[in-house]
Structure 1
Amino acid sequence: MALTEIAPAKINLALHVTGQRDDGYHLLETVVTFSDAGDVVTVEAAPEDAFSMSGRFSQGLSREAGGSDGNLVLRARDVLREALSEEGMSAPPVAIHLEKNLPVASGIGGGSADAAATLRALLRHWHATPAASTLDRLALKLGADIPMCMVGKPLMASGVGENIALLPAMPSFHCIIANPLQPVSTPQVFQRLTEKNNAPMGPLPALSSAAGWLSWLGSLRNDLEPPARLVQSRIAELSGLMKDTGAALVRMSGSGASCFALYETEAQARESLERLTAARPQWFFMQTRTVGKGETDDART
């Protein structure tokens, strides 16, 4: 029987760079939520390991696990199998299919979400229950965003992404995610970041309404947006187009080039999607709704 996991887009609603460790890793504070749609990972038993891909953006990914641009789905399979083997658990061959609907290298955690979905699907398929510390360790080994993507709920993360606090009171937002289909190198963005010790977010205020959340989020920043705009000028163009739709909040996600716009109503989001798609038909636009108020929205079969 095939098992399916949604790999939702990760949206950095705000991202503050607050320092840098001696080993070079940057210290972050970020508010994160997830879309109700994204890539799809399917796993089923097979006589030998197999991997296939489909979807609009499948051609941008490696079919191999190794190398600097190795596929994170395959890396997740391999590191989980190794960890389970060390704990005496079986991890027989599997066929994995990735439906790649999100742009690659776009600041919405596509690869990390794919890896997290793969881990969740394989744990279910193999009926495996490794120690929580083991799972935490291998998730962080795969990438700083993967622990967040394993959670898949509104959260605040700090450190290099390993310190996570859930935000169960965050509401769901009507949202458009957009990308000019120009990949942005995260290392290049950090190289252009001139200030590494920016002001932290401060304590989370008491928020009881969507308007309150939007007001607080609007007071925050993405410290990577200015340097990302230097790397890719179309980010500014995209942000301007989205602001012209009257969105309640527009900001770049992660290290770019994706931007998001939050709206008060579904009708506003739908009308904005039509307007943006007409203006830039060659770019990527997705109308979605974010997970909120304790919902998981991780459709499975």
Structure 2
Amino acid sequence: MISGHLTQTARAKINLTLRITGRRTDGYHELESLVVFADIADTLTLEPAVHTSLDITGPFAGAIDAATDNLVLKAVNALGALVPGLKGGRFRLDKHIPVAGGVGGGSADAAAALRLLARHNGISFDDARLMTAALRVGADVPVCFVSHACVMTGVGERLSPPLDLPELPALLVNPRVGVSTRDVFAALAKAGLPKDGRALGDIPHDAAGLIEFLKSHGNDLTAPALACAPVIGEVLTALEALPGIRLARMSGSGATCFALFATEAEAQAGESHLAAWHPEWWAAATVLNRTP
């Protein structure tokens, strides 16, 4: 066991693409998604203690309940069911990723908790119990545990080897509207599964080629998410009007959207524009795929 404070960064997950490939008999959907990670992140700290607890601070602390719906504690319980005598402690979460925003904030927090518990209990990161616990907590937790660009398939449990992708300057925007993933998939079921999506195939490794590639591979959850939260359409329209925009898209099941640019200066200028046009929205310039 390691004494003292342990800290992990929980980076926002961005679905550059998301294709729904089918629905299983248990009701879960199969997917194929090219996933990357942003600089925008929560910070999770663990201090050894007899009893496990969670305190939450940060700009989005008020949007979640530490006692009932936080995935950090669910991760502790999931791993504890697999590791007899698991040692926990006092968790402190500094919350900067929008909640229910389609960028895996809760999943990233749960994954960070699993990494902290592994360090605290002397468990190797390649111990299969960690990924088993991750999937039990949520479909996005395994990819957030790895926190590296890859292709995610199945319901989220199958990950490709890490991809060496270029850094992509980006702007993330959330209209401060939470979208229920359950509601989005219900809208998808009502509309019917998409039939014209293409498998990813070979993914370019240069920025210009990657962005052109992404234009042919969208997000199948955009239309059902728009049915649940029409403001997503306003966000995408605003992003597409920004100078230097290369691509605008929704991430995950929404409502967070992202825009890609050629330079960090253009992304930062885009943040300034959005702050003036829509001060009620959350907007943050970032870089995707930056090595931590």
SS at match of 2:72: helix
Q: CA deviation digits over 1:216-269, x for unaligned, max 9? A: 011111010011111111100011111101411110000000000111001111
1:6 aligns with one of 6, 9, 33: 9
The answer to whether the 8 A contact 2:203-2:213 is kept is: no
2:252 aligns with one of 246, 251, 254: 254
1:285 aligned residue: 283
Query: Which amino acid letter does the alignment assign opposite residue 286 of structure 2?
Result: T
Distance 1:206 1:22 in 2: 31
Quickly say closer, same or farther: Cα 1:207–1:149, change in 2 above 3 A.
same
SS at match of 1:84: coil
**What TM-score, normalized by structure 2, do the two folds share?**
0.93
SS at match of 2:59: coil
Distance 1:99 1:237 in 2: 29
Quickly say closer, same or farther: Cα 1:25–1:213, change in 2 above 3 A.
same
Quickly say closer, same or farther: Cα 1:198–1:150, change in 2 above 3 A.
farther
Q: Does residue 213 of structure 1 match 2:216? A: no
1:113-152 superposed matches below 5 A: 113-129=108-124, 132-152=127-147
**What TM-score, normalized by structure 1, do the two folds share?**
0.90
Quickly say closer, same or farther: Cα 1:278–1:207, change in 2 above 3 A.
same
2:228 aligned residue: 231
Distance 1:234 1:257 in 2: 8
Quickly say closer, same or farther: Cα 1:169–1:234, change in 2 above 3 A.
same
Quickly say closer, same or farther: Cα 1:251–1:203, change in 2 above 3 A.
closer
Task: State, as a whole percentage, how many aligned pairs show the same letter.
Answer: 38
Q: Does residue 263 of structure 1 match 2:261? A: yes
Runs of 4+ in 1 over 4 A off after TM superposition: none
Q: Does residue 195 of structure 1 match 2:198? A: no
Query: Which amino acid letter does the alignment assign opposite residue 150 of structure 1?
Result: F
1:162 aligned residue: 157
* RCO comparison, higher one (Cα < 8 Å, 6+): 1
Q: CA deviation digits over 1:268-296, x for unaligned, max 9? A: 1111110011111121111111125xx3x
**Structure 1 residue 135: deviation in Å?**
1.8
Query: Which amino acid letter does the alignment assign opposite residue 79 of structure 2?
Result: L
Q: Does residue 222 of structure 1 match 2:225? A: no
Structure 2 stretches lacking a partner, 5+ long: none
**Structure 1 residue 197: deviation in Å?**
4.9
**Structure 1 residue 177: deviation in Å?**
0.8
Q: CA deviation digits over 1:162-184, x for unaligned, max 9? A: 11113523111001111000111
Quickly say closer, same or farther: Cα 1:199–1:163, change in 2 above 3 A.
farther
Distance 1:203 1:98 in 2: 35
Structure 1 stretches lacking a partner, 5+ long: none
The answer to whether the 8 A contact 1:102-1:110 is kept is: yes
The answer to whether the 8 A contact 1:189-1:227 is kept is: yes
